[in-house]
Amino acid sequence: MLDAKTRELIEVAIAIKAQSVPCIIYHTKAALEAGATKEELLHTGMIAVVMGGGNSYAQLQHLIKAIDAFEKKLK
């Protein structure tokens, strides 16, 4: 079974590939709460871009904004 952090990182990648902004935001917050770091989330985002191409690349802005917003709240 996968731990919560790993599951949420996978969900972030799927959300980016699916181009679902609400899911990107939700799972980014959940990943941070589960102990993911900014670096792990950005790495996950880049894996999604490799798999999803340009459309996924455009979604990274939402990931970065969510990381910045939730990192401040969780500290």
Q: What is the pTM of this model?
A: 0.93
* H or E element that contains 63: helix 54-74
The per-residue pLDDT for 75 is 67
The per-residue pLDDT for 73 is 81
5-64 per-position pLDDT tens digit: 999 999 999 999 999 999 999 999 999 999 999 999 999 999 999 999 999 999 999 999
Cβ proximity of 44 and 9 under 8 Å: yes
CA distance 73 to 69: 7
The per-residue pLDDT for 71 is 86
Q: Which CATH superfamily is domain 4-74 in?
A: AhpD-like (1.20.1290.10)
